[in-house]
Structure 1
């Protein structure tokens, strides 16, 4: 089976392919118990969360999905780009497809914290708790170029990269150099999907386009904060901190402000890389379990 076939073959691909807003979307549901929705970072896919999901499936129903263009999900058309409202609706559709009607714990890594916060503000009846894992918190919102122009520039850049065959030559190497090696190493399954996904320009395009849309998404979140100032859910903000240095102090201070803004609890893990979900899945699993207890999703002795 070719790599392209593997991404679209429902027998080889874990989970299901469903349609959301006219796009084929990859959704994976595992385990049983209170629902936990894991949101991957910018440039991350379902398989990058495998080790963390393994820590949770014994107690929770763990739900993952790939945003447009990531993993096995269909890309957005060239004239569309990610929006805050679009992602809120996609999250709700994913939960609906999994039959989840109870309030969910959302654990969001990095940029996806914007989507988690927005969902909690917009759909409080569906949100029991939120964990921001080294989340993106913009203290001084900014926007330089119009989003449509930024996105067009992304598509132009990808055409150049594609012509040079850079993903085929360097894609998996880039993935492995950015993500810290998980305890026990990357599994054979993760290595297969890394090769399948990162040797195409689809993944690169999705990453660049989502990053290009970020200022617009953040501006919409700022507006939503004004409209709905309270987050009616248990919140934990987790900072991944370097071992020492000025950046550690700055990042800790910034994440503490994030927790204060959300009315949440601040926790830290150190020494840790930004991709702490890969580096320390057991510790992250314990933190999610602790938040679930605080939110009443688990008994205190679970």
Structure 2
């Protein structure tokens, strides 16, 4: 395989997009689905779901946001932003030659990107799926986002210096990844374990995770502003709920996700459909990929 940005082989292609070199995986033919990974998630976390969508006849496009996977990192002075990511989604689709409407699927925090994309580019949206999305009941902010991003870069640099002084030159990776991400029904593939061992939990990944987390409140505020000015398109919209086992938390989480669905009302008054997968962990895209793929297929009329 050709060299990736970190000097090794890669799963997809690396293309210049908006000042970054993004690792993009484009597979299959048919109606296009753009899969957006969660906070702290790389392209291979979506492998099990992708395999099932490919079997259904979809074209599946994934990319690593800056700093994740095999994409180039952000410079310390660059802030992650909601509208910047939405524009990056558009540019990735343009770069792989997808000009028509696509199904946009986002897991967890990426639900913000999916909803914003639908509002900014309604003509390019064939359907929107929020998988266990990050819905905030009330706006909040602890520290200014720029401070948080600077602190993220500083914390990782300090940690690198400390661990290097201790003789640790590679941080824990694949073993930790298997604790965070539940295996799919068929288990993890060798490729997933290999890629997790290379990128998960490493300094570039940790910087991207901490920086994106630091701007979450700002992105939520920007999305709230978009809701006042940009209607969602009249396309199928689905809120997928990963319902946990714990009874009290399960009732609250399902209630919260239904509240989320109520905010996603189109100009025609059409509300989002709610699908509950129970019991399921937050990484339902890996743990229960068959159910998630079936929901996406149903939206496309499959």
TM-score for both structures, normalised by structure 1: 0.92
Contact 2:107 2:132 in 1 (8 A): yes
| 1:157 corresponds to 2:165 | no
Q: 1:219, 1:106 → 2: CA distance?
A: 21
TM-score for both structures, normalised by structure 2: 0.92
The residue that corresponds to 2:261 in the other structure is 259
Contact 2:172 2:202 in 1 (8 A): no
Give 1:144 shift.
2.4
Picking from 90, 96, 99, the partner of 2:97 is 99
| 1:56 corresponds to 2:53 | yes
The residue that corresponds to 2:43 in the other structure is 46
Q: 1:159, 1:99 → 2: CA distance?
A: 38
The equivalences for 1:212-251 within 5 A come to: 212-251=214-253
Q: Secondary structure at the match of 1:57?
A: helix
The equivalences for 1:111-122 within 5 A come to: 111-122=109-120
Q: Secondary structure at the match of 1:168?
A: coil
Gapped regions of structure 1 (runs ≥ 5): 294-301
Contact 2:122 2:232 in 1 (8 A): no
| 1:291 corresponds to 2:295 | no
Q: Secondary structure at the match of 1:170?
A: coil
Contact 2:106 2:131 in 1 (8 A): yes
Q: 1:169, 1:224 → 2: CA distance?
A: 39
Picking from 202, 206, 209, the partner of 1:207 is 209
Give 1:6 shift.
5.5
Contact 2:82 2:116 in 1 (8 A): yes
| 1:24 corresponds to 2:32 | no
The residue that corresponds to 1:282 in the other structure is 290
Q: Which is helix-richer, 1 or 2?
A: 1
Residue 195 to residue 7, structure 1, CA distance change in 2 (3 Å): farther
Contact 1:15 1:26 in 2 (8 A): yes
The residue that corresponds to 1:124 in the other structure is 122
Q: 1:258, 1:200 → 2: CA distance?
A: 33
Picking from 186, 189, 208, the partner of 2:188 is 186
Q: 2:246, 2:220 → 1: CA distance?
A: 30
Contact 1:234 1:264 in 2 (8 A): yes
Contact 2:66 2:74 in 1 (8 A): yes
Q: 1:164, 1:274 → 2: CA distance?
A: 32
Give 1:86 shift.
0.5
Could you list the per-position Cα deviations for residues 223-270 of structure 1 after superposition, in whole angstroms to 9, with x for gaps in the alignment? Answer: 111111444321000100012410000000000111111121011001
Q: Secondary structure at the match of 1:14?
A: coil
Contact 1:121 1:228 in 2 (8 A): yes
Contact 1:241 1:273 in 2 (8 A): yes
Q: 2:191, 2:162 → 1: CA distance?
A: 28
Give 1:119 shift.
0.3
Residue 121 to residue 167, structure 1, CA distance change in 2 (3 Å): farther
Gapped regions of structure 2 (runs ≥ 5): 265-270
Q: 2:68, 2:127 → 1: CA distance?
A: 25
Q: 2:192, 2:39 → 1: CA distance?
A: 18
Contact 1:167 1:201 in 2 (8 A): no
| 1:90 corresponds to 2:88 | yes
Q: 2:202, 2:159 → 1: CA distance?
A: 10
Give 1:7 shift.
5.1
